[in-house]
Structures are given as C-alpha cells and as structure tokens.
Amino acid sequence: MSVRAPTRTVWLATLLVILHALLWLSAAAMLIVDGVQARVNGQSFALLELDPLLLGLVMIVLTAFLGWLHYAAVRHRSRSRSFLIGVLFFILGVLTCILIPWGAAWDVAHYAVVGADLFIGISMVRWGIQLARR
C-alpha cells in the first residue's frame, strides 16, 4: 500500500496556514499589549470575552492548535486530521464571513482571509477524501 504524497494544493494550503498563523499571532500580540496597558491604567473588564489580554492568549492557543493539527495531518497523512482541519477552517471562514461587518476600509484583507480559510478548508477535506480512497 503506497503512501500518497501531499499535492500542490495541500502545500499551498500549508503556506496559507502559516500566513494565517502569523496574522493571528500579530493580532494576538496587539491584543495582549492593549490588555496590559488597560490593566496598568486600572481599567477592568466586566466580561471575560471583552478582555483583550485573555482574548490574545486564547488566539495564541488556537493558532498553536490549528498549526499543530495541520502539520500532523500533512506529516502523517492522516485522513481524520485532514477532515478535521478542513472542517475547522471551513467553519472559521463562514463565521468570519458572517460575524465581521463588511463595508470597512480593510475589506480587501477581509476577502483575503475568508478566501484563504475557505480554500484551506475545502482543499484539506478533498485531500482527506483522496487519502480515504488509497
């Protein structure tokens, strides 16, 4: 039984996951800095989901999880991990499309992030299907 090598689409999805991780890490760093400055100024947050420090830390954990899951799916050619990472990125793309308001000055970046998320999701699910057929 031969092991199927990753396709060019999977390698492109891997590059997009790396760029996505860098984007999330930079956003998380900005949120953490805002959260630390707010705590130094004595500002408290009533709801934990509005605390930029905790939100930045959660983004770092999610980035590490998604990056590890994608690495494990490609490295070990795991169809279950490929399906999981594909579905997670597809859901992330749909939620980004729905929850973030359109019509802002940075819509080009919004289109790029949603497009990358949906591309990663679809290509990883397709690769999982190819792995299931071997």
How confident is the model at residue 48, as a pLDDT? 52
What pTM value is reported for the model?
A: 0.81
- What token pair was written down for 34? 């805002």
How confident is the model at residue 47, as a pLDDT? 58
How confident is the model at residue 49, as a pLDDT? 54
Q: Report, as ranges of residue numbers, the positions in the chain whose pLDDT lies below 70.
A: 1-3, 44-49
